[in-house]
Structure 1
Amino acid sequence: MYWYHQLRVTDIPFVGGKNASLGEMISQLKETGIKVPIGFATSAQLFRDFLSQNQLDAPIAQLLADMTAGIITLTDTGEKIRALITQGTFTTQQEEAITRAYQELCEQLQTANVSVAVRSSATAEDLPDASFAGQQESYLNVRGCEQVLQACLQCFASLYTDRAIVYREEKGFAHQKVALSVGVQQMVESEAAGVMFSLDTENGFPDVVIINGAWGLGETIVKGSVTPDRFMVYKPLLEKPGKRPIIEKQPGSKQLKMMYASRHHKDNPSNGQTVVLATTEQERSALVLSDDEILQLARWAVIVERHYGCAMDMEWTKNNQGLYLVQARPETVESQKKQAVLVNYRLKEKSTLLLEGASVGSAIATGQVFLINDPHQADQFPQGAILVTEKTDPDWVPLMRKAAGIITDTGGPTSHAAIVSRELKVPAIVGTEHATRSLTDGQAITLSCAGGTVGQVYEGTLSYDTQHVDLDDIPQTRTAVMINAAMPEGVFRWWQLPAAGIGLTRIEFMISSQIRVHPMALLHPEKVTDPAVRQTISQLTQGYAYPPDYFIHHLAMGVGKIAASQYPKPVIVRMSDFKSNEYRGLLGGEFFERHEENPMLGLRGASRYYHPLYREAFKLECQAIVSARQEMGFDNIIVMIPFCRTTGEADKVLDVMAEAGLKRGENGLQVYVMCEIPSNVILADRFAQRFDGFSIGSNDLTQLVLGIDRDSAELKPLFDARDDAVKEMIAQVITVAHQYGCKVGICGQAPSDYPEFAEFLVNCGIDSISLNPDSFAKGCQQIAIAELKYQINTAGHE
């Protein structure tokens, strides 16, 4: 027997990957404060001896050979081998060694028949390039010597589950060169548990920790039977004193929890040691971790990752004694990708939205729905269909390989369905809640994971584009090339682009899709007289004693997540620029917005921020930015004011911002202004004395210079930012701004769509050009060509 504190990660040949890793954490990371439940491991040699003394080596080899020859099926092979092993017996010395170790564990914990987790640990698992996680079995809440011995036998047998046999063959591991150790570990009676990754498992972004959690034991998350809470923390700011960089807190439905069976009067249909119960309404609405616990787990993840030198996949649990790590292994999907090519998917059309859930991957798939509840019906599943089921477990893998896409009712981004889909490179949407009830057999659908963390299922077979971007082919430019970002969900997809930051983030998209409530309705609920609207707002803000905090909290995390994608490079956040008719579309908006004949030229942008109708709400926006910059630590955020008509307006807005805690120049805060009104150009010298930079809004500037409604179909041929009048305005503001030490950028498609426009901007000396991410590569090429031409022309004139 080996006690965990005696083991190091180099002991994988003797006790397998899982046990060696637990020993590494206990023996090497104890001083860091990481808590790991104690335990011991049987040796891999004991497993080999067990097979030998029970004369099982030859029969197992023969069964595997017959399977390879097609004489016997995979299922029958696994069943026969497992039966041979479970019918075997330990020698008296082996029984005594395991029993004596278990009894010593009871003495150390001062508990008779202490509850333990008995886990399989193979000698070829938890390697940096091959994780056998989930291939073998674990048994929870095991008590007493007899149960421990029986669980050890069951773990031995699980080395030959169907999924384990297939996985070894795929990875090129000879079956009988892989041995199995058994870990017997103190069982923590979990109030909550979950899994944690030290990178974003969807795109490989290395600077975040992803934490998933649910009530009870963690098996419900791994098996995908619940949709867990999800948390995200930005790692580089964790070590800054006083910063709390939690950039996502997404509640899950958490409808079930697994608990010790001994605490209840029901029996679990699986092994009698645990029972699955429905959660209470209070448990479903509450998050399983406090902010302090989220940050503590994230710090542990950073410590473990740093110690192992690679991205890590960890399991955690908590009880009334605090938090514990119970497993740690290398992450083996995203961290192993070395490709320099980004593949972007884009739907070319839309149809009826049927479902949403957590997306796995970034691809799009089309096909016919195939509803199935039994993994052993794989032979009935047509190649290329969309698998729709409640959840999956390791027995589903052969069937999942045949699917073009996968949709489940339950589960989160770390459920079995998500993990396997990621590894198989099959797009999946998990945790839809009711896919099996909403979709029908044979129904044609489109599954899209191209929009970020939220995946959509659409009616019918939709067409889509696939774009391959070779990162090595993107040229470097003297002009700073930035990207536009509207929503936090998909922003990490673009972390590998060599962007100079984010040139435009529109917070109104976050307000409309994530917050959904008019901020004045949160400040003055008494003015919302529609009972149905009040009820919806009450449901959304549940858990917030002060409803406006709901707005501040969600906006701060959305902005923080976008800022995290580029930190420490600049991220320019434009304050809300809805028109009054768009504000009316928010929940409760009808009670606070006046009807305007021409909202495009009405109460929008800067004029709204100091107006009595919205001033209080603007301060909420400012407080969200303060939270993201100062509490989370994203001091790379630059605030931008849109549609500022006069310098007097600028002064008023800056005063309101300062009242709300956003004072230009304090804590390094820069404030930019949109240049989209002729007055911004004509009085550029005066605006430059009030702001740190300009961002040209070419659409509104073109509209107001040429006197054309930008939405007019009849005048569309005349609406062109390349018109000489518009270009004169752009050239003028760049010249004047530079005279006053202000930077000037532009956001829009024109530089990537029109080479001559990119050339014009470069010739004017613009500081930055911000493009949509899917146009980034093309835009960089156009800008690089324009810079080369400018250099040649300049040299020629000299």
Structure 2
Amino acid sequence: MAVRDIRISNEEGSGPNPEAPAPPSALPATKCRSLPVFPDSCLNRYSITKRGRELLRGIAIGTGVSTGTVCKAGSLEEAQTCPDHCVLVCSDTGPDWLPVLERAHAVVTEHGTRTSHTAIACRELDIPAIVNAGKAMTELRDGGAATVSCSEGDVGFVYEGVAEVQVTEINPASIPITRTRIMLNLANPATALRWQGLPADGIGLARMEFLVRNLIGVHPMALLYPERMTDREERKRISELTSDWQDPGTYFTETLAQGIAQLAASQYPKPVTIRTSDFKTNEQVKLIGGRDFEPLEANPMLGWRGASRYYSAEFREAFALECQAIRTARDDIGMDNLRIMIPFCRTPEEADKVLEELSANGLVRGKRGLAVYMTAEVPANIELADEFSERFDGFSIGTNDLTQLTFGVDRDSERLSELFNDHHEAIKRMIARLIDTSHRHGRAIGLCGQAPSDHPEFAAFLVNCGIDFLSVSPDSFLRVKEQVAQAESAGAAP
């Protein structure tokens, strides 16, 4: 191992010391830094060598370390006034907080779980976060310097002041090759090119709803039928957003197509899987114009979401806009590495309706190499895997919904978090059966989620079962790749 000791203050920036010798290409390099943020965290390992006193702890999201000035926000409006590169501290976040999260160096919330919105969004954005951090709003001092560390295992820590961190930089050439394909969960076009240096096998999960929320921010039906909107100010905002476009629908499809194409281009020609929108009603309603087109549901998690929207009279036209955006990215821009994944498809009959809608909108399974996958996240998907295999080209297991529906546990419930076990024997048996059925039908099958990263024994189990691919957040890529390589070398995989 080559060692470089570099002291960099916040004012000096984060560039390398030109006098330091470069390490051999096959070896990692270690150096000490004192700076606000560590870039490309998925290729770094961190250990804190000097720190202030511990202020708080909670559930670590990611593996990075960041420092900044604490900015406490009691509401979204207050958070919008926080400066760039701060340590954002709040009770919790929601989908409409994304623009604020993008500007933060780190996030600390009092509530949340590993599967909550804050956790998912911060993984997507590669921002270190600590959720379920108790009394963060009262324990942390507004305006004070703090270090957020997610580099010490499952528990994340907030330390007083700016810590010194030893960074072990991993050369991509030293990352092991595996039979099991390791892909990335990405949905932010602005940062997609950042991960080109990773030896990933493509993108296994790009969430359409992330793109719609972040790039467009408007309910698609409000764009098609602005006259149905009751809020005059929201109609005005839509008019301003779409003023330079031929019509509001074109604004949606062209903007979305460009975002999808950026993601696909970042990995071309490797496959990139775009999952069609899986907004719940309580999420759709937060888009501009959403209140005029969404019903009020007692339990949105089990309500009108995923596949059930695509063929319904109230949303069919909106889904057509999504399809047009995908078709533009594939056919007009040339990103033929795109494949589609359908979420929350409850029955084979529903699958038939969705495939009909895709075909009606120019996305025919098998035509020009278009593959259509489905997420396996409802227990019925496993029980009827033979029937679903006749309709789809592959499966991607969604452990969050599969776990909550198997155990009847709300995945966002802090009170029941100990019962939410995505690597429980019950889940493993279901996964093993699905892998076996998929392979009997010649279908590819993978898993998108954090469980293989958080639990090495679960990664080994999946390899033993012969899973074809895993898709993880960039910060988990290296860890999962190594765990899979170890399992395969131990004879776990054929």
Is TM-score (shorter-chain normalized) higher than 0.5? yes
Q: Within 2, Cα distance between the matches of 1:756 and 1:512?
A: 36
Q: Within 2, Cα distance between the matches of 1:677 and 1:751?
A: 20
Count of residues in correspondence between the two structures = 365
- The Cα shift of 1:789 comes to 2.1
- State the partner residue of 1:782: 483
Instruction: Give the counterpart of 2:181 among 480, 498, 512.
Output: 480
Q: Within 1, Cα distance between the matches of 2:320 and 2:307?
A: 13
The 1:791/1:754 distance shift into structure 2, 3 A limit, reads closer
The 1:680/1:758 distance shift into structure 2, 3 A limit, reads same
Note the 1:572-583 alignment, pairs <5 A: 572-583=273-284
- Contact 1:755 1:786 survives alignment (8 Å): no
Report the secondary structure of 1:663's partner residue.
Answer: coil
One-letter code of the match for 1:711? D
- State the partner residue of 2:437: 736
Residues 1:537 and 2:221 aligned together: no
Q: Within 1, Cα distance between the matches of 2:82 and 2:257?
A: 27
- Contact 2:42 2:476 survives alignment (8 Å): no
- State the partner residue of 1:629: 330
Using structure 2 for the length normalisation, give the TM-score.
0.70
- Contact 2:277 2:306 survives alignment (8 Å): yes
One-letter code of the match for 1:461? A
- The Cα shift of 1:729 comes to 0.6
Report the secondary structure of 1:770's partner residue.
Answer: strand
- The Cα shift of 1:355 comes to 7.1
- Contact 1:353 1:459 survives alignment (8 Å): no
Unaligned runs of 5+ in 1: 1-169, 172-338, 358-363, 367-428, 430-447, 453-457
- Cα-to-partner distance string for 1:446-474 (whole Å, 9 max, x where unaligned): xx9x959xxxxx96634245764332332
Residues 1:764 and 2:465 aligned together: yes
The 1:510/1:347 distance shift into structure 2, 3 A limit, reads farther
Residues 1:463 and 2:166 aligned together: no
Which portions of structure 1, spanning 4 or more consecutive aligned residues, are displaced by more than 6 angstroms?
A: none
- State the partner residue of 2:320: 619
Q: Within 2, Cα distance between the matches of 1:632 and 1:464?
A: 41
The 1:492/1:580 distance shift into structure 2, 3 A limit, reads same
Instruction: Give the counterpart of 1:725 among 422, 426, 439.
Output: 426
Note the 1:552-591 alignment, pairs <5 A: 552-591=253-292
The 1:632/1:356 distance shift into structure 2, 3 A limit, reads farther
Residues 1:675 and 2:359 aligned together: no
Q: Within 1, Cα distance between the matches of 2:210 and 2:86?
A: 26
Q: Within 1, Cα distance between the matches of 2:80 and 2:428?
A: 41
One-letter code of the match for 1:783? V
- Contact 1:578 1:604 survives alignment (8 Å): yes
Relative contact order: is structure 1 or structure 2 higher (C-alpha 8 Å, sep ≥ 6)? 2
- Cα-to-partner distance string for 1:731-789 (whole Å, 9 max, x where unaligned): 01110011111100101111111111001000100000111101111111111111122
The 1:356/1:739 distance shift into structure 2, 3 A limit, reads farther
Q: Within 2, Cα distance between the matches of 1:672 and 1:489?
A: 25
The 1:760/1:576 distance shift into structure 2, 3 A limit, reads same
Note the 1:433-444 alignment, pairs <5 A: none
- State the partner residue of 1:502: 203
- The Cα shift of 1:722 comes to 1.4
Note the 1:29-48 alignment, pairs <5 A: none
Residues 1:752 and 2:453 aligned together: yes
Q: Within 1, Cα distance between the matches of 2:239 and 2:145?
A: 38
The 1:353/1:590 distance shift into structure 2, 3 A limit, reads closer
- The Cα shift of 1:616 comes to 0.5
Residues 1:699 and 2:400 aligned together: yes
Q: Within 2, Cα distance between the matches of 1:771 and 1:584?
A: 29
The 1:496/1:642 distance shift into structure 2, 3 A limit, reads same
- Contact 1:577 1:605 survives alignment (8 Å): yes
- Contact 1:451 1:489 survives alignment (8 Å): no
- The Cα shift of 1:715 comes to 1.4
Q: Within 1, Cα distance between the matches of 2:466 and 2:191?
A: 32
One-letter code of the match for 1:519? P
Q: Within 2, Cα distance between the matches of 1:340 and 1:673?
A: 31
Report the secondary structure of 1:790's partner residue.
Answer: coil
- The Cα shift of 1:554 comes to 1.1
Q: Within 2, Cα distance between the matches of 1:356 and 1:679?
A: 47
- The Cα shift of 1:706 comes to 1.4
The 1:580/1:348 distance shift into structure 2, 3 A limit, reads farther
The 1:343/1:492 distance shift into structure 2, 3 A limit, reads farther
Report the secondary structure of 1:490's partner residue.
Answer: helix
Q: Within 1, Cα distance between the matches of 2:170 and 2:81?
A: 31
Q: Within 1, Cα distance between the matches of 2:232 and 2:476?
A: 45
Report the secondary structure of 2:256's partner residue.
Answer: helix
- State the partner residue of 2:304: 603
- Contact 1:484 1:505 survives alignment (8 Å): yes
Instruction: Give the counterpart of 1:690 among 391, 406, 421.
Output: 391
- The Cα shift of 1:343 comes to 5.2
Q: Within 2, Cα distance between the matches of 1:341 and 1:735?
A: 32
Residues 1:592 and 2:276 aligned together: no
- The Cα shift of 1:353 comes to 4.5
- The Cα shift of 1:603 comes to 0.3
One-letter code of the match for 1:730? I
The 1:341/1:753 distance shift into structure 2, 3 A limit, reads closer
- Contact 1:681 1:729 survives alignment (8 Å): yes
Q: Within 2, Cα distance between the matches of 1:525 and 1:765?
A: 50
- State the partner residue of 1:102: none
- Contact 1:469 1:777 survives alignment (8 Å): no
- Contact 2:311 2:354 survives alignment (8 Å): yes
- State the partner residue of 1:656: 357
Q: Within 2, Cα distance between the matches of 1:346 and 1:572?
A: 29
Q: Within 2, Cα distance between the matches of 1:356 and 1:549?
A: 34
The 1:671/1:534 distance shift into structure 2, 3 A limit, reads same
The 1:479/1:535 distance shift into structure 2, 3 A limit, reads same
Q: Within 2, Cα distance between the matches of 1:532 and 1:340?
A: 41
One-letter code of the match for 2:379? P
Q: Within 1, Cα distance between the matches of 2:473 and 2:408?
A: 26
Q: Within 2, Cα distance between the matches of 1:626 and 1:461?
A: 48
- Cα-to-partner distance string for 1:166-186 (whole Å, 9 max, x where unaligned): xxxx99xxxxxxxxxxxxxxx
- State the partner residue of 1:524: 225
- Contact 1:745 1:766 survives alignment (8 Å): yes
Amino-acid identity (%): 50
> CA-atom RMSD, angstroms?
2.7
- Cα-to-partner distance string for 1:52-80 (whole Å, 9 max, x where unaligned): xxxxxxxxxxxxxxxxxxxxxxxxxxxxx
Note the 1:214-253 alignment, pairs <5 A: none
The 1:538/1:690 distance shift into structure 2, 3 A limit, reads same
- Contact 2:446 2:467 survives alignment (8 Å): yes
One-letter code of the match for 1:790? G
Instruction: Give the counterpart of 2:367 among 654, 666, 686.
Output: 666
- The Cα shift of 1:586 comes to 0.2
Q: Within 2, Cα distance between the matches of 1:695 and 1:504?
A: 9
Report the secondary structure of 2:268's partner residue.
Answer: coil
Instruction: Give the counterpart of 1:490 among 191, 203, 211.
Output: 191
